[in-house]
Structure 1
Amino acid sequence: MTRLAIISDTHMPRGDRRLPDACVTAIRSADLLLHAGDIADVPTLDAIVGLGPPVHAVHGNVDDHAVRARLPAELQITVDGVRVAMVHDAGPRTGRLLRLRRRFPQADVVVFGHSHLPLHENQDGFTIFNPGSPTERRRAPAHTMGIGETGAGVISLRLITV
């Protein structure tokens, strides 16, 4: 079994913004960290990598040139038999699940960000998951992140408030 910490839209540094303690604790206790983009700059990326678990990340629309040079726009990995795709901007809400299923036909789950609005949606065994943002909630009711567990080709995901 692999424990995942899932974040997006950290937008650091900006003012005195930092990852909440509960988020850092969850990341450090994970086996893998997935970041769905909008990190901002390389020092922030390096700080996130320095938290401990291996990081799989994509770049977002606010990431600077150096981050874009280090991270892909989309990524597909397999964790314990679960095929996970990642992209920052999944497009408009209307038709999103079907659009992502067409874009990533081999994926079991697509992790994305951009809207800062947490979302966990499943249809016929295909899941889309937006962890929200641990640092900039915008219209979301709280700062959030995702926790996942994989094993034997199955993934369970949940949103937590940080």
Structure 2
Amino acid sequence: MRVGVISDTHMPVRARALPAACRDVLAGCDLILHAGDHADGASLAALRAIGPPVVAVHGNADGEDLRRALPASAEVDAGGVRIAVVHDAGPREGRIGRLRRRFPGADVVVFGHSHVPLVERDAGGFAIVNPGSPTDKRTQPHHTMALVRVDGGRAEAEIVILERDDPA
């Protein structure tokens, strides 16, 4: 199973649409996760139109309409792996332990907010993933997303570097 992970798209403020490379990766996935800061409902509708099921949470920059429509956190089973999604994971110090305690049933926690891509795993195999942003890299050198591959009840995550195009 392939799980496409994005966050912090801030559309249409930072971009009119997702970059084509991001849309292509997401279209080839079995599930899409969005860790918040969509910016408006139209961008969420466009994400859902890509095809695979979407699990999304709201972020701090999302308006009232999205805050009412989306939860602050979510959990989903993906091929026998439990993945939690939340927008803000708090400060870097102690983050992996804090997320393990907050989501005790999860194997992986996906988060956003910082726009800083990250894949980190503890000694017990618990993983945290921040996909960065496909549309607003801030101080990062690249626009990014993440891909989580689930096989045999085990998840492997990687950051995907996107070449930014000018979406239509």
If the TM-score is normalised by the length of the shorter chain, which range does it land in?
over 0.9
- Change beyond 3 A, Cα 1:15–1:39: closer
1:7 is matched with 6
Q: Deviations over 1:58-103 (max 9, x none)?
A: 1000111111111100001111110101100000011101111111
- Change beyond 3 A, Cα 1:104–1:17: same
Match of 1:83, SS?
strand
Question: Aligned-residue CA RMSD in angstroms?
Answer: 1.0
Match of 2:59, SS?
coil
Q: Are the aligned partners of 1:17 and 1:135 in contact in 2 as well (CA < 8 Å)?
A: no
State the Cα distance separating 1:8 from its structure 2 match.
0.3
- Change beyond 3 A, Cα 1:111–1:15: closer
| Residue identity (%) | 53
Summarize the alignment of residues 5-84 of structure 1 with structure 2, pairs less than 5 Å apart. Answer: 5-14=4-13, 16-84=15-83
1:140 is matched with 140
Between 147-156 and 109-118, the greater mean CA deviation after superposition: 147-156
1:86 aligns with 2:82: no
* Structure 2 length-normalised TM: 0.93
State the Cα distance separating 1:20 from its structure 2 match.
1.1
Q: Are the aligned partners of 2:8 and 2:112 in contact in 1 as well (CA < 8 Å)?
A: yes
CA distance in 1, matches of 2:91, 2:23: 30
State the Cα distance separating 1:152 from its structure 2 match.
2.4
CA distance in 1, matches of 2:42, 2:16: 14
CA distance in 2, matches of 1:78, 1:100: 17
Match of 1:146, SS?
strand
Between 81-90 and 151-160, the greater mean CA deviation after superposition: 151-160
CA distance in 1, matches of 2:15, 2:159: 25
CA distance in 2, matches of 1:128, 1:43: 28
- Change beyond 3 A, Cα 1:43–1:98: same
State the Cα distance separating 1:140 from its structure 2 match.
1.3
CA distance in 1, matches of 2:48, 2:156: 24
CA distance in 2, matches of 1:142, 1:70: 30
2:165 is matched with none
Match of 1:89, SS?
coil
Q: Deviations over 1:26-63 (max 9, x none)?
A: 01111110000000111111111111111001100011
Match of 1:25, SS?
helix
CA distance in 1, matches of 2:64, 2:119: 30
* Structure 1 length-normalised TM: 0.96
**How many residues are matched?**
161
- Change beyond 3 A, Cα 1:83–1:15: closer
1:102 is matched with 101
Large movers: runs of 4+ above 4 Å? none
Match of 2:140, SS?
coil
Between 71-80 and 7-16, the greater mean CA deviation after superposition: 7-16
